[in-house]
């Protein structure tokens, strides 16, 4: 009996698997019958004996129920154990099958790694660009970012930008009133920050007082700016640092509040630390926030920068719209405010086509996404999907080949009585094992490749790298006075870069004196004359070399660069007008300059005056098709000039 025990047990278990109830019943019945029979031999009649047996036993019905439960639970446990055991066997079989054909296994794994890894890396970028809301922001889906759709000041093309002049923000804010709460901030830029004697580069953003409340950012330590500290023209030197900065720069000490740090020669006091994870609402991370009232914008044309409609300081505007207000209502009010506000200050050079748009917080999903950027992103995604499909097709082919080779094997196993379900499970397990083998390198590739791709595509990482190369262009130049005077302690890298490029970033270029100085410095360094065609030619000839370098990044646009040439002062005019006169005449180009420019396919000269073919270069106004060109060169229009 004992020899047959395990086999018998298995057979019986299968027979009684779904019979827990019967099992318990017949056991109890057997007991009761045996007892009844025993009592009958003692002389009791059948009914009496049965009743006695049941009395001795206890509550029969309840016992039946409880025993059934016990048996059922045990059967389930055994069943589960069997299942796991079979799974283990199948896994072993699958692993052996894979080991028998190492070449094919390696091939399939490599294909999977390629396809899935590339996709995962691309998705990581797409996720950060389009899907993931910035960390630490409360309810990001209800935040609205304001965009300005207008005609490009350079070539009149329709563009949308997320930036506004601070004056525009103020105008919109006061007009919107109760309909929405608005906050503005400057996108983070690198600045040298001195803390306890050591200088380090941090990403600094200037923000309004309602920036933190609007985003719903909690403050982990201390407090955020108050409205009083952020009154324009009388800002208090206080600073809020991010959690990451607190940890890395201040070592996470609680004594950080009250510490002093120096930005652009100004001393700021740390008053707060934001909650962990928050680093601004953009992709670009922010490490230090300062009140926007302390922005060293100075005065332009005798107007404080924050009231000047063409100031060089741009802010991004976020809004939380009141529940009963629709986005079109908000944008209509904002657009009207934008136009009327501009009209107040400057009737001649209005941006008449500017429209304020409301868009999602994630800029990549907003209207600023240019056609080129969209095309590149979609192509990148398309290519990786094709790669995945190709990899899938190849893997499927290889697996099919494997299956064909193993027909004999399968036939034998079916003959031996393996169930089709079990066979399918074994093949599925083989596929899972292959996928599992591929997943380890895929994770590595997705992590590193994704990081690499992000570094190349996204600004927060890319800017760090590129700012080293193009120190002058992207650098947040705190040491420089807003009116263009050089304070003398600019970093030598920035200076060298500025000189050698012979070009200035659009933002700086809009400060005329900055442009003037930049070109003069270049002229001095190259030893050329301070005016006249030779120097200009040299500058312009640099363009083909510089252009592609600046345009290589996805988020860089060529129109951001403005290529300067030397002004030629007109001595017959009073000194106050000389610079303007220089501007007027400097674009008279030689034939070689035009040829160079055409070869480089970059526009030269001043916007609104010159075309790529040089036809507008002699100072003649180009009137057709350029409504917004007014905005830039209207400052030097003829009427103004002849006064």
Partner 1 sequence: MKPTDTPLVHGTLDALVLKTLTWGPRHGYAIARWIKDSSDATLVVEERALYFALHRLEDYGWVESEWGQSENNRRAKYYRLTTAGRRQLKAESERLTSYSETLIKLLAMPREVAE
Q: Using CB under 8 A as the criterion, which residues of the chain lie in contact with partner 1 when the complex forms?
A: 1, 5, 8-9, 12, 16, 23, 26-28, 30-31, 33-35, 37, 56-60, 63, 66-67, 70-71, 74
Query: By C-beta, is 65 or 87 nearer to partner 1?
Result: 65
Q: Which two tokens stand for residue 169?
A: 């923000």
Nearer to partner 1, 26 or 269 (CB): 26
5/301 with CB nearer partner 1: 5
Beta bridge partners of 562: 504
Q: Name the residue nearer to partner 1 (CB basis): 67 or 381.
A: 67
Per-residue tokens: 541: 């000839």
Do residues 442 and 266 make contact, with C-beta atoms less than 8 angstroms apart? no
Shortest separation between residue 74's beta carbon and partner 1, angstroms:
6
For residue 481, which phi and psi values (nearest 5 degrees)?
-70, 150
Least CB distance from residue 45 to partner 1, whole Å?
20
CA dist., res. 286 & res. 291, Å (int) = 14
180 three-class SS: strand
Tokens 């009914």: give the residue.
47
Return the number of other C-beta atoms located less than 10 Å from residue 336's C-beta. 14
Task: Name which of 26 and 558 has its Cβ closer to partner 1.
Answer: 26
DSSP 8-state assignment for residue 634: G
Nearest-approach distance from CB 70 to partner 1, in angstroms = 5
The answer to whether 183 touches 225, Cβ cutoff 8 Å, is no
Minimum distance from residue 31 beta carbon to partner 1 (Å): 5
Q: Which residues touch 269 (CB under 8 Å, ≥6 apart)?
A: 237, 238, 239, 258, 259, 260
What is the closest distance, in whole angstroms, from the C-beta atom of residue 78 to partner 1 in the complex?
A: 11
Compute CA distances 119 → 280, 447, 543, whole Å. 28, 12, 37
Q: From the CB of 426, what's the least distance to partner 1, in Å?
A: 30
Element (DSSP H or E) covering residue 347: none
- Contact of 81 with 365, CB cutoff 8 Å: no
Residue placing its CB nearer to partner 1 in the complex, 2 or 141 = 2
Contacts 24+ apart (CB under 8 A), 442-449: 442/112, 442/113, 442/116, 442/117, 442/120, 445/113, 445/117, 445/118, 445/120, 445/121, 446/116, 446/117, 446/120, 446/121, 446/124, 449/117, 449/118, 449/120, 449/121
How near is the Cβ of 88 to partner 1 at its closest, in Å?
20
Positions of E strands within 43-142: none
Is 483 in a helix, a strand, or coil? Answer: coil
Which CB, 70 or 401, lies closer to partner 1?
70
- At residue 359, the 3 state secondary structure works out as strand
Residue 50 or 517 with smaller CB distance to partner 1: 50
Separation of alpha carbons 508 and 477, rounded Å: 10
Q: Using the minimum distance from each CB to partner 1, give the nearer residue, 24 or 98.
A: 24
- Closer Cβ to partner 1, 61 or 639, answer by number: 61
Cα–Cα distance between 588 and 539 in angstroms, integer? 14
**Cβ 32 to partner 1, closest distance in Å?**
9
Q: In this complex, which beta carbon is closest to partner 1, that of residue 22 or of residue 621? A: 22
């Amino acid at each position: 009996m004992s020899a047959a025990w395990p086999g018998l047990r298995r057979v019986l278990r299968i027979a009684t698997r779904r019979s827990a109830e019967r099992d318990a019943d017949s056991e109890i019945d057997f007991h009761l019958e045996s007892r009844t029979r025993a009592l009958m031999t003692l002389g009791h009649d059948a009914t009496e004996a049965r009743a006695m047996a049941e009395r001795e036993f206890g509550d029969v019905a309840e016992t039946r129920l409880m025993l059934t439960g016990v048996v059922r639970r045990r059967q389930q446990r055994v069943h589960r154990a069997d299942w796991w055991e079979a799974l283990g066997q199948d896994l072993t079989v699958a692993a052996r099958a894979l080991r028998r054909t190492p070449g094919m296994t390696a091939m399939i794994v490599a294909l999977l790694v390629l396809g899935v890894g590339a996709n995962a890396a691309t998705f990581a970028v797409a996720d950060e660009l389009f899907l993931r809301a910035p960390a630490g922001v409360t309810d990001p889906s209800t935040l609205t970012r304001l965009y300005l759709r207008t005609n490009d000041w350079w070539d009149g093309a329709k563009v949308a930008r997320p930036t506004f002049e601070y004056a525009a923000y103020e105008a919109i804010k006061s007009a919107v009133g109760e309909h929405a709460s608005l906050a503005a901030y400057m996108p983070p830029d690198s600045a040298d920050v001195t803390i306890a004697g050591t200088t380090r580069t941090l990403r600094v953003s200037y923000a309004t007082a309602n920036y933190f409340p609007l985003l719903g950012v909690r403050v982990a330590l201390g407090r955020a700016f108050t409205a009083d500290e952020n009154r324009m023209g009388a800002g208090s030197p206080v600073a809020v640092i991010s959690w990451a900065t607190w940890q890395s720069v201040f070592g996470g000490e609680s004594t950080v509040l009250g510490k002093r740090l120096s930005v652009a020669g100004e001393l700021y006091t740390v008053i707060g630390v934001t909650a962990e994870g928050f680093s601004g609402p953009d992709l670009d991370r922010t490490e230090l926030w300062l009140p926007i009232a302390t922005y060293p914008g100075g005065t332009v044309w005798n107007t404080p920068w924050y009231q000047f409609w063409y100031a060089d300081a741009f802010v991004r505007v976020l809004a939380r719209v009141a529940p009963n207000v629709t986005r079109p209502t908000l944008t209509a009010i904002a657009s009207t405010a934008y136009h009327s506000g501009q009209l107040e200050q400057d009737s001649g050079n209005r941006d008449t086509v500017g429209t304020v748009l409301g868009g999602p917080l994630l800029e990549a999903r907003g209207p600023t996404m240019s056609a080129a950027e969209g095309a590149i992103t979609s192509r990148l995604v398309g290519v990786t999907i094709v790669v995945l499909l190709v990899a899938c097709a190849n893997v499927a082919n290889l697996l099919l080949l494997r299956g064909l080779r193993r027909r004999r094997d399968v036939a034998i196993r079916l003959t031996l009585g393996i169930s089709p379900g079990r066979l399918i499970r074994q093949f599925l397990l083989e596929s899972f094992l292959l996928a599992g083998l591929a997943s380890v390198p895929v994770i590595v590739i997705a992590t590193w490749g994704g990081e690499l791709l992000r570094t190349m595509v996204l600004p927060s990482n890319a800017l760090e790298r590129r700012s080293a190369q193009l120190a002058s262009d992207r650098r947040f130049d705190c040491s420089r006075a807003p009116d263009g005077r050089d304070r003398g302690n600019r970093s030598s890298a920035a200076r060298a870069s500025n000189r050698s490029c012979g070009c200035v970033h659009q933002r700086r270029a809009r400060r005329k004196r900055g442009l003037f100085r930049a070109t003069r410095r270049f002229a001095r360094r190259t030893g050329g004359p301070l005016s006249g065609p030779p120097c200009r030619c040299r500058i312009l000839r640099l363009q083909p070399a510089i252009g592609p370098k600046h345009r290589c990044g996805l988020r860089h646009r060529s129109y951001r660069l403005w290529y300067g040439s030397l002004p030629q002062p007109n001595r017959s005019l009073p000194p106050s007008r000389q610079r303007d006169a220089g501007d007027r005449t400097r674009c008279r180009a030689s034939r070689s300059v035009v040829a160079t420019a055409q070869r480089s396919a970059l526009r030269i000269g001043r916007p609104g005056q010159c075309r790529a073919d040089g036809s507008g270069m002699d100072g003649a106004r180009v009137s057709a098709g350029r409504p917004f060109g007014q905005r830039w060169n209207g400052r030097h229009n003829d009427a103004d000039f002849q006064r």
